[in-house]
Structure 1
Amino acid sequence: MVNRLLADGIVVLHFLFIAFVVLGGVLARRWPRLAWVHLPAACWGAAIELSGWICPLTPLENRFRQAAGEAGYAGSFIDHYLLPILYPVGLTREIQYGLAAVVIVVNVAVYGCLLRRR
């Protein structure tokens, strides 16, 4: 039971991290010091997508799922949880490049506005 709760908690944490990567710049407009945390997170998110690496939270979640007697899954967090929601087909490198581009463009635009405001 504890391992399943830990795995589910990692899923929630992972979703929150992805939301922060994509939208954290908007929060940084309100709280500019948050940029010191958000910019490295956004760079990490873009690097994961551009390189094709798997985020370390994914194998950790799978480890807890297997310890709870559940089956883990192959592939990335995005492939397993987000693509079935956002895309009807499987993850391709082109889609990963697109996701990275969204992260970069959104954050460049938000931080550009933030810098202009200062």
Structure 2
Amino acid sequence: MDALSPAFAAFLADAILALHVGIVAFVVFGQAAILIGAWRRWRWIRNFRFRIAHLALMLFIALQAWLGQLCPLTVWEQALRGHAGQTAYAASFIEHWLSRLIFFQAPWWAFVAAYSAFAAVALACWYWVAPRRKGR
């Protein structure tokens, strides 16, 4: 990381934050789409690749919460911000606004409970609104 300029490290940190927000949006809006799509009979919500990516991400998030680990994206972003001489979540426009969308102040157990409940819903939907592979 020493070879990175501080400006490039800040840019990469912003890019990781944007990716992080995108993943959160995929998980949250993907689950909403699955539930609404089951009711509306949307065929695309049964796409196997979409569903396996959604479920795998949610199970990973719940597991890291149970293990008391930070998301690797958060760790990388914070390391890059430190290299750029920035304090975590107080520098650029992107960082300022996007981080407020996905980072909340709450006790750790609240996140473990929320992520576990969300993973349980995603897993239940795997059976309730079963994905289908092409040709089946």
**TM-score calculated relative to the size of structure 1:** 0.69
Determine if the alignment matches structure 1 residue 107 to structure 2 residue 128: no
Determine if the alignment matches structure 1 residue 9 to structure 2 residue 15: yes
Offset from partner CA, 1:12-40 (integer Å, 9 cap, x none): 11122223233434367252332232222
Larger relative contact order, structure 1 or 2 (CA cutoff 8 Å, min sep 6): 2
In 1: Cα distance, 2:50 partner to 2:15 partner: 24
Identity within the alignment, %: 28
- How far did residue 44 of structure 1 move? 0.3
Q: For structure 1, list consecutive stretches of 5 or more residues without a partner in the other structure.
A: 84-89
1:7/1:65 contact within 8 Å kept:
yes
The equivalent of 1:48 in structure 2 is: 64
- How far did residue 2 of structure 1 move? 1.9
The structure with the greater share of residues assigned to helix is: 1
Offset from partner CA, 1:50-98 (integer Å, 9 cap, x none): 222111111210121122221237xxxx9xx521xxxxxx421331222
Q: For structure 2, list consecutive stretches of 5 or more residues without a partner in the other structure.
A: 1-6, 35-43, 90-98
TM-aligned CA distance change 1:23 to 1:112, over 3 Å: farther
**TM-score calculated relative to the size of structure 2:** 0.62
In 1: Cα distance, 2:71 partner to 2:106 partner: 15
| Higher Rg | 2
In 2: Cα distance, 1:59 partner to 1:92 partner: 19
